Structure 1
Amino acid sequence: MNIRKFVVSLFLLIQGYISFAQNEKPNVVFILIDDLGYGDLANYGHLIAKTPNIDKFAKQGIKFTNFYSPSPLCSPSRASMLTGRTPYRLGIQSWIPEGDNVYLRQHEITIANLLKNNGYQCFLSGKWHLNGGLNEKTHSQPQDAGFDKWTALHAFAIPNHKDPINFFEDGKPLGKIEGYSGTIVVDKAIQYLDERDKNKPFFLYLPMNEVHGQIASPSKYLKKYNKYIKEDIDLVNLKDNGPGEYYANITFMDSEIGRVLKYLDKNGLDKNTIVVFASDNGPVTSQWRKFYEINLNGSTGGFRGRKADLYDGGIHVPALMRFPSQIKPGLVSSEPIHGYDFFPTIFSMLNVPIPKDREIDGIDISPLFTEKPISRNKPLFWAFEMRPSDDPEGYFYAARDGDWKIITDFEVKKVKLFNLKKDRFEVNEVSKANPEIVNKLKTYILEMKKSIELDPLRPKDVSTPNMD
C-alpha cells in the first residue's frame, strides 16, 4: 500500500469512527401535551377515550403516577421543563398573552442549547409560548433557545385546530395551512427527521397543541365517539354538546404520536432514542370558568381542582419515559417527581455535565429506572401568579415534602395543609393539627422566595403579581 492510499484509508477509518461515535450518542424526543389531565389516558384510567399508542409506549418504559408539572399553566411550565429551573427564576410567572413583554431570556440554557453545544441537531415543531409573539423582534425566539429548525405557533391554534393561520417557520409566517394542527406538527417533525444529517444525533421537541381549546378533530375520530356528542354548543347559557369531541381529540392526538413512535421504530432509532412524554399542566374540566372553555371535558382522575389551580388537579399529570438501554420496561413509579427534573435527568443519561453557574432546581431521577431510590434535598416547589380570571381562591405557592403538601397565599400567611398519603384528593385540610409541619413548609417557601429574588439571572423588569 503506497503512502497516499494509506492516508486515504486512515482518513476514511477516522471518519467512520467519528460517524459511529456520533450515531452512538442517544437521540432525544420530548413530547409535551397541552392541558392533558391525569385521567385523560386509557392507561391512567380513562374508561372511554382510546389511546392505544400511548398505552403501548407506557409498557415499554417507566410510568410515573406522581409526576407534577412545574406550574398549573403553560408558559411557566414549559420554560421550567426546558431549563431545569423553577419558572419564577426565569421571570415567567403565568401564561404569556400575545404582545406581553415577557419572554425566555437568552442567558437561560435550555435542553436544546446544551445539546446543540454537544453536537446535536435540534428541531421544534408545535407550540412555543415562551415569548410575546413569534414576530416580536426584541424577544428571544426558538433559534435563540438552540433550535436549528422550527415550526411553531405562539399559544394556541387560530381560529381552532383545523386550518390554522398562525404558524411560523424559522421566523416567517406561513398563513393558512389546510389540515389539523396535530397532523401539521407531526408532518413537519417527520420532515425534519428525514432531512437531518444522519451522522449527527438529534433532539426533537414536539409540544403538541392538543388538547388545548379550541379543539377540532378529523371526522373519523368524531365518529368513534358519536354517541357522546349532542346538540350544538350554547355559549350564552354555557352548555356544551357533550364530551365526545374532547374524547375524539385525545384519540387523534394519540394517533399522531403513534406516527412519531412508528417512525422511530421503522428507521431503527427506537433503541437509541430517549423519549419523554408529559403534560404541561392539568386539564380544563367541565367546571368551566370562561366561555371559550365550553366543550372541554378533561379528567383529573379525581384530583381536586383543574388547570390554573395549585391543587393536584392543576399540576398532577401523566408522564412517561422510554430508553431501552437504561430504563427497564414495564416500570411504574409512585415517587413524587417534578417537571424541572427532566433537565438534569436527560443530561445524566447522556453523561453531559449541566451548568454550575446557576441554580438548577431539578434533580437526576435516573436511579428510578433501575428501581433504586433517589435523594432530594428540598421539597417540590411551585410559584404561580394567578390572573384575576384564573384561580379564584388566591393561592400563589405550594410545596410537597414526602406525603405533606401545603398551599399558601402571596404573603405565605393563609395556608392549607394536606396529607396526600391519607387524603390524595385534598379533601381534609389539617393545618391546625400539624403546626410543626406548617411552619417547616412555610419557612421553606419563604426561603425559596428569597432565593428567587436574589437569583442573579432573574430579569430585573419582572412585574409584581396582580393582586386584584
Structure 2
Amino acid sequence: MKKILYLIVYAFFLCGCAGIENKKPNIILIFIDDMGWADLSCFGNVDAQTPNIDKLESEGICFEQFYVNSPICSPSRVAISTGTYPQRWNITSYLAHRDLNHERSMVNWLDPSAPMLARRLNNAGYATGHFGKWHMGGQRDVTDAPYINEYGFDKSLTNFEGMGAKLLPLTKDESGKVGQIWKKAEMLGKPFRWMQRSEITTGFIDSAVNFIDEAVKMQKPFYVNIWPDDVHSPYWPPFEEYGVAKASGKRGLYLAVLEAMDQQFGKLVDYIQTNNELRNNTLVLFCSDNGPELGAGRAGELKGYKTHLYEGGIRSSLIVWGPGFMSEKVQGTRNKRSVFSAIDLAPSLLEFTGTKSPDSFITDGECHIQTILGEANSSRKSPIFYSRPPDRKNYYNFKNLPDLAMREGDWKLLCDYDGSRPELYNIVNDPGESQNLAEVHVGRVEEMTQKVVSWYRSMPVLETEKHEASNQ
C-alpha cells in the first residue's frame, strides 16, 4: 500500500514539474517616448539618476547597438508592434490631423489587419494589455480610428493619441495653477479621466499590475505594453519641483520628468522582482521609440536627434531583464557587438513563446532570441533600412538632411532618394558619424546605395518628392 501511495505521489510530482517546465513565459514591453540613448544613468547620464530602471539593468543585459526602425513616434511604434517596416503601412511620420496626414501621403491609422505581435499571442492563449501612448490611430480630428482592442488586446488604457479608455493630462505650475493639455481629447472615446501628467505613468502601471494580477489568477500567460509619454514635451514634472526645474531651462525640466518617471516605475520593478512566480517567468524589454528632442535628452557621442537618420535619432538603449531565462554569467553585462532592431523583436518573441505563425504572416524581422537572452552575439543578416519622415528635410538646425539610410555590418550609408550625396561611415569605429568615407570606398557606396534605393522603391510610399517644396 505504501509503495502504491509513493508511486502516486511521485507521478503527481513529475506531472507538476512538467507543468511548470511547459508554462508559457510572460512578456512586458516598456517603450519610452523621446528618450535619448544616453539618458539612463546606467547608460552614462550623470545629470539625473534612474535607479529603478537601473535595477533591471543590474540583473539583465544592456544592448548598445540596438536600433528602432524610425526616428519618429508613430512609425517606430508600428515597427515594434508588427515586426515590419512601417513604410509597408504608409505610416512614415507622426500621425496628425487628416489634412496633414493626406498631405504627407499617409493613412490615418494602422491597418487592423497588420501582423500584430499582440494578436498572435492573444490567439495563442495570452492575456494581452496595452497601457500608455498608442499613436497608431485616433488623434487630433481622427475620431473614427479602430479601437486598440481591434489590434489584438484584451484591455487598454491610453492617452490623447488613441481610441478607448484613457487618462488625460492636467498640468500644475509652481504657483499651483492647474491647466489642461489637448482639451479636445475627450472626443476620442470614453471613459476618460483627467489627472496630473506627472502622475499618469503611475496610472498606467497601476492598471497594468491589476491586469497582470487577473491574468495570474486565470493562470494565463500575459503580454503587456507599458508605453508612457513622460519625457515627450511639454515637460511637466511634479509641481513641487517645477519651479526649480524650470529655472534650469528645457534640459532641467526634462531631467526632472525623467527622474519622476523612474520613480513611478519603482512600483512595477519591485512588483516583478519580488514576486517569485513573476521573477522567474517574465521577460522585460525596455527601450525608447526614437532619439531625444533637441535641448532635452541626449544621445552621448552619437550624432543627431529625433527625426534624424543619424545614430542619435535611431539608436535606442535596450535593456532586457529575465533572470529565469538568463544564465548568471550574463546578468548585469553589456552587449556591444550585436546589431539588431525593433522589427526583430516580434519574430524573436514568437519563437520565445513557441507561437507559430501562418505561412502568410508578413515579417521583415529576424529571430534573435538567443542574443536577447545572452546565449549568443549574433547580428542581423539583412541590412536595416530607413527613410526619413517626409516632413523633416530640415530640422533641429540640420539642413538638407539625407532621405535614406541603412546599416549593414560595421557600415552605415546615408543618401538621397536617388542615391545622390552619399555619406558612408564605419559606425563601429566612428559612432559619431564624423568621417565620411564615401570617396574612399566607392565600390561599397555603389553596392549599398543600390540596396537602399531598391528597398525604398519596393515600399508603397513613393510620393515624397512632391512634399519637398513644403520642407524647405
TM range (shorter): 0.7 to 0.9
Contiguous gaps of at least 5 residues in structure 1: 1-12, 231-239, 287-296, 454-460
Residue 169 and residue 349 in structure 1: after superposition, are their counterparts in 2 closer, same or farther (change >3 A)? farther
Q: Please state whether the residue corresponding to 2:298 is helix, strand or coil.
A: coil
Q: Is the 8 A contact 2:292 2:306 kept in 1?
A: yes
1:204 aligns to 2:224 (yes or no): yes
Match for residue 410 of structure 2 among 373, 393, 403: 403
Aligned length: 426
Q: CA deviation at 1:178?
A: 4.6
What is the alpha-carbon distance in structure 2 between the residues aligned to residue 166 and residue 24 of structure 1? 45
Q: How does 1:36-435 map to 2 (within 5 A)?
A: 36-99=35-98, 100=101, 101-133=107-139, 136=142, 138-155=144-161, 171-178=189-196, 180-196=199-215, 197-219=217-239, 226=244, 229-230=246-247, 241=249, 243-268=251-276, 269-286=278-295, 297-327=296-326, 328-334=330-336, 335-368=338-371, 369-374=373-378, 376-388=380-392, 391=395, 392-435=399-442
Alpha-carbon distance change, 160 to 298 in structure 1, aligned in 2, over 3 angstroms:
farther
Q: CA deviation at 1:173?
A: 4.3
Whether the aligned pair in 2 keeps the contact of 1:305 and 1:311 (CA below 8 Å) is yes
Alpha-carbon separation, structure 2, partners of 1:161 and 1:341? 37
- C-alpha separation in 2, matches of 1:250 and 1:301: 16
Residues 152 and 23 of structure 1: CA distance in aligned 2, closer, same or farther (over 3 Å): farther
**1:252 CA displacement:** 1.1
Q: Which residue of 2 aligns with 1:5?
A: none
Normalising by structure 1, we get a TM-score of 0.83
Q: Any conservation in 1 of the 2:34–2:293 contact (CA below 8 Å)?
A: yes
Per-residue deviation, residues 56-95 of structure 1 (Å, max 9, x unmatched): 1112111101111111000000000011101101211111
Q: What do residues 424-459 of structure 1 show as CA deviations (whole Å, max 9, x unaligned)?
A: 101111111111111111111123124324xxxxxx
DSSP 3-state at the match of 1:254: helix
Q: Is the 8 A contact 1:123 1:147 kept in 2?
A: yes
Letter in 2 for 1:149: K
1:234 corresponding residue in structure 2? none
CA contact (8 A) 2:307 2:392 kept: no
1:150-205 CA-partner distances (Å, limit 9, x unpaired)? 11124499766666667779941415235622222222222322344531111110
**Contact 1:166–1:174 under 8 Å retained in 2:** no
* Partner deviation per Cα, 1:93-146 (whole Å, 9 max, x = no partner): 111014444211021121110110000111111100001439856433311111
Code of the residue aligned with 2:59 in structure 1: it is Q
Change (3 A) 1:412 1:356: farther
The answer (yes or no) to whether the contact 1:345–1:363 under 8 Å persists in 2 is yes
* Equivalent-residue separation in structure 2 for 1:325 and 1:214 (angstroms): 38
| AA of the residue aligned to 1:277 | F
**CA distances 1:395-439 after superposition (whole Å, capped 9, x unpaired):** 221101111101111222222111112211011111111111111
Distance in structure 1 (CA, Å) of the matches to 2:186 and 2:22: 30
Partners of 1:135 and 1:112 in 2: CA distance:
26
Instruction: Tell me which residue corresponds to 1:3.
Output: none
Cα distance in 1, alignment partners of residues 438 and 19 from structure 2 = 58
Distance 1:393 1:258, change over 3 A: farther
Offset, 1:260: 1.2
State the Cα deviation string for residues 308-366 of structure 1 (Å, max 9, x = none).
10111111121111122333412311212211111111112112223432441111122
- Computed over aligned residues only, the root mean square deviation of the Cα atoms, in angstroms, reads 3.0
Q: 1:107 to 1:462 in 2, by over 3 A?
A: farther
1:282-333 deviations in Å (ceiling 9; x for gaps): 00121xxxxxxxxxx2111121110110111111121111122333412311
- The CA deviation string for residues 271-291 of structure 1, in whole angstroms up to 9 with x for no partner, is 1111110100000121xxxxx
Tell me whether 110-119 or 172-181 shows the greater mean CA deviation: 172-181
Asked if 1:439 corresponds to 2:446, the answer is yes
Contact 1:125 1:185 in 2 (8 A): yes
Is the alpha carbon distance of 1:398 and 1:67 closer, same or farther for their aligned partners in structure 2, counting shifts above 3 Å?
A: same
- 1:292 is aligned to none
| 1:244 aligned counterpart, secondary structure | helix
Query: Is residue 120–residue 202 contact of structure 1 (8 Å, CA) maintained in 2?
Result: yes
Query: What residue identity is the alignment partner of 1:177?
Result: M
Asked if the contact 2:168/2:193 (under 8 Å) is kept, the reply is no
After superposition, the Cα gap between the structure-2 partners of 1:40 and 1:376, relative to the gap in structure 1 and judged at 3 Å, is closer
